Structures are given as C-alpha cells and as structure tokens.
C-alpha cells in the first residue's frame, strides 16, 4: 500500500538527447529510492512544449526517455513510470494552483528569465506558469521527497509555498515536499565552458556528453575538454575545468577527490582526460545496450506506459478530488 511508504516524485523532459548531467544528477540516483519509497517517475512531455517541438521527434523522445529510465536501472515493477500527458490531473490541478500562485512569485523565477532570453520569439504563458505545473506534478502524489538539481531548487521552494498557502486556506490538503540534492554529480558542467552547466541544447557538440554517445565520441569529447594552464590534477578554487572532470570521474568510479589526486600524481592532463572518458564510456555501455534492446520492443514500452498511467491516475485523482471538494467545485459520480 502507498500509505506504508513515503513518496518520491521526479520527472525528466523528453526534449533533446539526455546528457551525463541528467544521468549523474538525476536518473542514476532514482533507483536508490525504489526499496524504501513509493516512487513516481514521469516523462514530463507537457513541460517540453513550452519550447516549440517537432511532433514526431517529441513522440520518439518520449519513448526514448522511458526506455532510458528502465535502462538506467528503474524497474517498472518497483517504480511507477509514466508519461505526464497520460494523467490529465496534472494539467487540471495546475489550473487550480495557478489561482493560488502570485504573479510576483512567477516573475522572480530565474529559469523563466533565462529561457525568455534564449527563446525571445516565443515567450509564452506556459513558460511563465511552468513552475505551477511542476508544483502540480509534485503535490498530486502527496510527495515527501523530490530528487532535484540545484537549478530547480527555486521551483521546489515555490511548490512548498503553494502547498503551505493552500493548506492555510483550506486545512491540510497537500504534503509539503522536501528536496534531495545528491552530494556528487548534482551539477555537471560544460566540457567547453566549465563555468556553465552542461546543457542538452548546447550548440557546441564537444561541450556535451550524451548518455547514448558511442565510446569513441565520449573519449574524443573528453580529450578536447577545457582545463587550465596549470598541469596539476587537484580539486581547487579557480580550476573549474579540472574540478568538473574530477567530479565526473568521482561519480563514475566512486573514488574521493583525495584518491583521484593520488592516482594521477605526476601525470598530465592528457592521461587524466583519457581516464575520465574511459570510465564514463565503460559505465554507460550497458545502459546503451539495454536502451537499444528496449527501443526494439515498442509493445513492451507501451505496456509500461499503460500500467504506469493507470497507477498514477488512481493516486492523482484522489488528490484532485480532495482539492476540488475543498475549493467548492460540485462533483458528480
């Protein structure tokens, strides 16, 4: 029963190829919650359309994101894996929560400002109210814990504020969620500009390592990674490129920074970048293999989608019904 366990919710957009930042900062960590928590992991396709999408590509990437969830270790028997648009309550609750979210709160969202600058010809209302839909995603499942990247902390805080505000008006309705930020891999930086986050939309292909890149491509990209004019492999302020590579190596090998420094003492950046590339490629090889197997079985993926949607709908409708009743909407059976 869901009441026996606390709830985890998270989601990934099916827009663009997923990067090792998505893998290390999010998906890889999801499976760790499967035994202790009731987990809902969503392909958030409603969020994706705040930016113009090619319909055929969006459909394909929805399947791919679900396949990657499973290939990265999320067992559909232990986790509820589903597609956001298959659960209408996400959009329905978002409208109600829009009416309990202040315009000024949304105006302060950093991601809205950033995306508006990148997509100046498409600053749509969905982009502005995106954080309310994210709050709806979380609050629908009475979520206790949200694995979240540092760039989404502001949105999670808004979800908490909305829950507290609604609870204050209508009595306890929503669980107020807590965030979980993994200590390592929470923010993987660009290989070309280590002061910026690695982004799947980066126009520089050498800046980004994708989960599904070939081993040759992964090693080539790491060999070209920006470092510094120093030649010492150590984690220190001002060594953004090396710090990023050490963080990636730590995530894939489990070694501490002090161990990495000893391992590469007296060696050059070339040796280190090759080692990071090989560690990354070797770790992702089984993921790529399982992904290809799953993508060849569309019927299986659709079965997972259907089962996940049924489960998610059941729990989401319970919360939505409670919200509608408290607001004062009439309901018929």
Residues belonging to the active site: 115, 197, 200
- Mapped to the 3 state alphabet, what secondary structure does 238-287 carry? CCHHHHHHHHHHHHHHCCCHHHHHHHCCCCCHHHHHHHHHHHHHHHHHHH
Q: Which of 14, 7, 40, 27 shows the shortest CA–CA distance to 182?
A: 27
Q: In which region does residue 69 sit, left (phi positive, over 0), alpha (psi from -120 to 50) or beta (all else)?
A: alpha
Question: CA-to-CA distance for 27 and 73, rounded, in angstroms?
Answer: 9
* Dihedral (Cα; 50, 55, 56, 62), 10-degree rounding: 40
Question: CA-to-CA distance for 298 and 203, rounded, in angstroms?
Answer: 30
DSSP-assigned letter for residue 224: T
Query: Long-range contacts for 216-220 (Cβ within 8 Å, ≥24 apart)?
Result: 218/277, 218/280, 218/281, 218/284, 219/274, 219/277, 219/278, 219/281, 220/277
Q: What is Dmax (Cα atoms) for the chain?
A: 74
- Other CB atoms closer than 10 Å to residue 123's CB: what's the count? 13
Question: CA-to-CA distance for 302 and 62, rounded, in angstroms?
Answer: 11
Question: CA-to-CA distance for 198 and 192, rounded, in angstroms?
Answer: 9
Burial (0-12, 13-18, 19+ Cβ within 10 Å), 134: buried
DSSP-assigned letter for residue 23: I
């Amino acid at each position: 029963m869901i009441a026996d366990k606390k709830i985890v919710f998270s989601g990934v957009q099916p827009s663009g190829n997923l990067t090792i930042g998505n893998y290390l900062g999010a998906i890889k960590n999801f499976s760790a919650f499967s035994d202790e928590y009731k987990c809902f992991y969503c392909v958030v396709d409603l969020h994706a359309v705040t930016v113009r999408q090619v319909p055929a590509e969006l459909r394909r990437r929805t399947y791919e994101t679900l396949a990657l969830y499973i290939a990265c270790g999320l067992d559909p028997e232990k986790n509820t894996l589903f597609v956001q648009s298959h659960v209408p309550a996400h959009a329905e609750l978002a409208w109600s929560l829009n009416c309990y979210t202040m315009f000024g709160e949304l105006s302060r969202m950093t991601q809205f400002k950033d995306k508006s600058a990148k997509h100046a010809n498409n600053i749509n209302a969905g982009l502005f109210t995106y954080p309310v839909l994210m709050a709806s995603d979380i609050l629908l499942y009475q979520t206790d814990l949200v694995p979240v990247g540092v760039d989404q902390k502001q949105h999670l805080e808004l979800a908490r504020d909305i829950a507290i505000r609604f609870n204050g008006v209508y009595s306890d309705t929503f669980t107020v969620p807590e965030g979980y930020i993994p200590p390592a891999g929470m923010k993987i930086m660009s290989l070309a500009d280590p002061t910026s986050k690695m982004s799947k939309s980066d126009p520089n292909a050498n800046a980004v390592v994708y989960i599904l890149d070939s081993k040759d491509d992964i090693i080539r990209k790491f060999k070209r990674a920006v470092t510094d004019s120093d030649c010492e492999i150590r984690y220190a302020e001002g060594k953004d490129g090396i710090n990023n590579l050490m963080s990636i190596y730590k995530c894939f090998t489990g070694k501490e920074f002090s161990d990495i420094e000893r391992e590469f003492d007296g060696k050059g950046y070339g040796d280190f970048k090759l080692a990071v590339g090989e560690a990354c490629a070797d770790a992702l090889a089984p993921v790529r293999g399982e992904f290809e197997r799953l993508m060849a079985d569309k019927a299986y993926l659709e079965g997972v989608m259907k089962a996940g949607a049924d489960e998610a709908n059941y729990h989401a409708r319970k919360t939505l019904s409670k919200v509608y009743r408290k607001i004062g909407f009439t309901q018929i059976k």
